[in-house]
Amino acid sequence: MRIVSWNVNGLRACAKKGFLQVLQRRKIDIMALQEVRAFPEQLPDNVRNPRGWHAEFAPAKRPGYSGVAIYSRIPPSRIEASLGVDRFDDEGRFLLAQFGRLSVASVYFPKGSGKDRDNSRVPYKMDFYREVFDRIQHQRKRGPVFVVGDYNTAHHERDIARPKSNVKSSGFLPAERQELSRWEDAGWVDTFRHQHPGEADHYTWWRQFGGAREDNVGWRIDYVFASKTAHRRVKDAFIWPQTFGSDHCPVGVDLL
């Protein structure tokens, strides 16, 4: 089984840049999306209901904003699109699909920078992290869990090309990085880092100007975190930096 996660930065736009080709040709079984930025009814039919796939969506209330989705080859046995907190659910950031005992959560963690770049949304972001953590801690009691998506945080210095110039930027603040450490301390595994422990220069997001992607000046902020029982099934973890269509690239895991 192959599970892939991709922040598509607008699914309608990504669909015009090859989304369906990636979905159909990369031997994917479950594809989790973030930043869909469309209501399902706004999507072309072949994107909303591609042949051979089941698609579930959790859009934001605000048009053209946020939103997550999960595409799967087999229908999920259970879907949950709510954390039970309106200020989070209204932004369409959480969708959990259960396939028997296995669960996959597609999560779009908030940016903390705020519209004025003053880090005003950091408290909201941290509250969201804690709410998702509590939810997945409960879910792992039911079986293996993968929490995939855009975490909007680079955990370690090797996960960001310019660490020294971003120490006061949301996405690399100590509190945000410590939250990911708390997840690991609780037994959650960053699957890519576990498979590639000493490697640097692996990024999943690049600014859309200044040649950042061409020069590989990026951030690794998209992750597949696995519960201990889920991680036992991981054969490989990967990043696809040469897959285009968004300012993020896909990440994923292959399972035994």
Burial class (CB in 10 A: 0-12, 13-18, 19+), 210: exposed
Q: Is 236 a residue of the active site?
A: no
Side by side, the strands of the sheet bearing 251-255 are 54-58, 68-72, 30-34, 2-7, 251-255, 234-239
CA torsion angle 179 183 186 187 (round to 10): -150
Of 116, 118, 150, 215, the active-site residue reads 150
Angle subtended at Cα 9 by Cα 5 and Cα 13, rounded to the nearest 5 degrees: 115
Residue 131's identity, in one-letter code, is E
SS (H, E, C) 127-189: HHHHHHHHHHHHHCCCCCEEEEEECCCCCCHHHECCCHHHCCCCCCCHHHHHHHHHHHHCCCE
Provide the token pair at 38. 């469309």
Q: DSSP class of residue 54?
A: E
Active site residues: 150
